[in-house]
Amino acid sequence: MQNTISFRRKARARWGVIFVIPTCLVLFVFVFYPICYTLVLSFNEYNFAYDMHMKFVGFKNFIDMFKDEQFLTALKNTLLFTLFMFVILVVMALGLSLLLFNKKRRSWLYRVSIFMPIVVPASLICILFSFMLADNFGIVNKFLVSIGLSGWSHNWLTDAKTARVWVVIVSVWGKVGFCTILFLSGLQNISQDMFEAAEIDGAIGWKKLIYIIIPNLTETFVVVGIWAILQCLKLFVTPNVLTKGGPANATLVMYQNIYNTAFNYFDMGYAAAQAFVLTALVMIFSLLNMKMSKGED
């Protein structure tokens, strides 16, 4: 009997290993190996278009990075976009989710409308906005002229200040729907009895938000926060398609600078070093978000 049980356990373990192997292979080929190879590249000088072999340079790529004005500009822009986009995304998504939660009639229509931009490819959204914001034939300038505000018409994407603003607006518009749905899911998990008890105790309006809703959305804030941080730090499509990183690198971000370094200048070692700095930023901000959420809890 003991031998039979032992044989069955070994058979189950064997089948378990067989089913896990494909997943492990995929993770190794597409995750672990690229990470390890990128780490090796970051300590080497390697131009894949001309060099036959990598040349070890130690920490030179990391040292040069912080002497490179273009990288420092991209880092500054990335942090600024992350700060503004993160705050706007979280606040706007929470506000929209509260409106949807309290609006019972035709709520499915509003949910679809808010979620729709995230289904549309980001590059297509940027192309549409670039036509809308064009100086000569853009619908925004034409509308301003038609209502007598021709002095407000502007070449929105060639002015550094307005270009940054529109990168934030377009990025938030394309991503706020997903955060809204996450917050709405969290609101629906709060017990209705809790809301009723709060109203009996006089907790309405802002009091309900501060003392009932926000404390019960701690886990949702963690999920939304980490997702928003990842999206903000990995910002690429919007500035690349909408402004090409311009004017004068005003909207250049780290992801875009890594891409240009690797595939326009073919400097894979330097690009790999920048990629590890970006990865470190993602981890630091994600851990800070989790720490703050746990502290509030």
pLDDT 10s digits, 232-277:
888 898 999 888 888 888 899 999 999 999 888 888 999 999 998 8
Please, what sign has the CA dihedral across residues 221, 84, 169, 251? negative
Percent of all residues in the chain with a pLDDT value above 90, rounded to a whole number: 18
Give the model confidence (pLDDT) of 26-54 as tens digits.
Answer: 989 888 898 888 888 999 998 877 877 88
| Superfamily of domain covering 65-296 | MetI-like (1.10.3720.10)
What pLDDT band is residue 125 in, cutting at 50, 70 and 90? Answer: confident
Query: Using 50, 70 and 90 to split pLDDT, how confident is the model at 4?
Result: low
Mean local confidence (pLDDT), 52-63: 88
Q: Provide the b/e sequence for 4-23 (b: ≥16 CB within 10 Å).
A: eeeeeeeeeeeeeeeeeeee
What would the pLDDT profile of 137-182 be if each residue is shown by its tens digit? 788 888 888 888 777 878 888 888 889 999 999 999 888 888 888 8
Axis-axis angle for helices 139-146, 122-132 (nearest 10): 40
Identify the pLDDT of residue 74.
93
Is residue 295 predicted with pLDDT exceeding 60? Answer: no
DSSP E strand boundaries for 70-193? none
- Whether 190 shows a pLDDT value over 60: the answer reads yes
Burial class (CB in 10 A: 0-12, 13-18, 19+), 121: exposed
What's the whole-number mean pLDDT along residues 80-93?
91
For the segment 193-212, the average pLDDT, to the nearest whole number, is 72
Q: What is the pTM of this model?
A: 0.83
Report pLDDT for 7. 58
Burial, 184: exposed, middle or buried (Cβ in 10 Å; 0-12, 13-18, 19+)?
Answer: buried
Q: What is the mean pLDDT of the chain?
A: 84
Report the pLDDT value the prediction gives residue 15, as an integer from 0 to 100. 77
State how far the Cα of 110 lies from the Cα of 112, in Å rounded to an integer.
5
State both tokens at 128. 């549409």
- What is the residue whose two structure tokens read 């492990």? 24
Q: Which token pair is 94?
A: 């929470």
Whether residue 76 is predicted with pLDDT greater than 90 in this model: the reply is yes
| Average pLDDT, integer, range 207-225 | 81
- Structure tokens given for 268: 């894979």
Query: What's the token pair of residue 248?
Result: 């004068």
Domain-wise residue ranges, the chain = 65-296
As given in the structure block, the two tokens for residue 184 are 């709405």
Residue-level pLDDT at 140:
85
Residue 119 predicted with pLDDT over 60:
yes
Residues contacting 278, CB < 8 A, separation 6+? 78, 233, 234, 254, 255, 258
The pLDDT of residue 203 is 65
Amino acid at 81: F
User: What's residue 256's pLDDT?
Assistant: 92
pLDDT category of residue 73 using cuts at 50, 70 and 90: very high
Residue 185 to residue 172: CA distance in whole angstroms: 20
**Angle 275-163-169 (CA atoms, 0-180°, nearest 5)?**
80
* Range with the poorest average pLDDT among 83-87, 151-155, 198-202, 268-272: 198-202
Q: What pLDDT, on a 0 to 100 scale, did the predictor assign at position 72?
A: 93
Q: What is the per-residue pLDDT for 106?
A: 66
Q: Which residue in 78, 2, 110 sits closest to 254, CA to CA? A: 78
Residue 193 has pLDDT above 80, yes or no: no
